[in-house]
């Protein structure tokens, strides 16, 4: 696994990688859309999270899944997501005024147990965080331009591509 970190000014982030209409149009095809508190649509303006903050620290982990079965790839991917999210949440807790973004949709309750479809508040609002994509950030473009890494998608019968890039961040 290769790990990368880079810093973006919030101006660069919003000028070059914020495209909420296009990114959310992709989200609409996902079964989590409107069914997880961490996924759009939201009853608030996501740009509020950017106000008063000046930079974003982005973490990207590149996982090699080429020689793994789908089950092995899923386990490796989930382990990376949990570790990344733990680390960024810990950094958020140690950095007053910061806000963390997770590397994947919220998995605390699981898709079948989230209270959003019931119209009830999130049970774990202290732990739930959003993804960059949920806030309209084009991570494919950002990772390509900043790290010269093209995101890959699964092909054929495989659930996972040969390589996956997980991205989380913290804004300060």
Mean pLDDT for the stretch of residues 57-75 = 96
Mean pLDDT for the stretch of residues 16-23 = 97
Bigger pLDDT: 10 or 110?
10
Cβ(48)–Cβ(167) below 8 Å: no
Tokens standing for residue 140? 């494919």
Closest CA to 101 of 81, 143, 135, 131: 131
Cβ(65)–Cβ(155) below 8 Å: no
Model confidence, pTM: 0.92
Residue 72's pLDDT is 96
């Amino acid at each position: 696994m290769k790990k990368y970190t880079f810093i973006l000014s919030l101006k660069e982030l919003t000028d070059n990688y914020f495209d909420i209409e296009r990114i959310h149009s992709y989200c609409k095809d996902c079964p989590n859309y409107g069914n997880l508190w961490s996924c759009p649509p939201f009853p608030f303006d996501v740009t509020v999270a950017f106000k008063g903050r000046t930079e974003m620290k982005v973490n990207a982990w590149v996982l090699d899944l080429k020689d793994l079965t789908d089950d092995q790839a899923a386990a490796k991917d989930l382990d990376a997501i949990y570790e990344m999210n733990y680390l960024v949440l810990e950094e958020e807790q140690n950095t007053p005024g910061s806000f963390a973004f997770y590397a994947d949709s919220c998995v605390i309750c699981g898709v079948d147990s989230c209270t959003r479809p019931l119209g009830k508040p999130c049970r774990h609002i202290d732990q739930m965080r959003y993804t960059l994509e949920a806030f309209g950030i084009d991570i494919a473009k950002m990772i390509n331009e900043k790290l010269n890494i093209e995101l890959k998608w699964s092909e054929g019968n495989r659930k996972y591509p040969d390589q996956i890039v997980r991205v989380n961040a913290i804004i300060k």
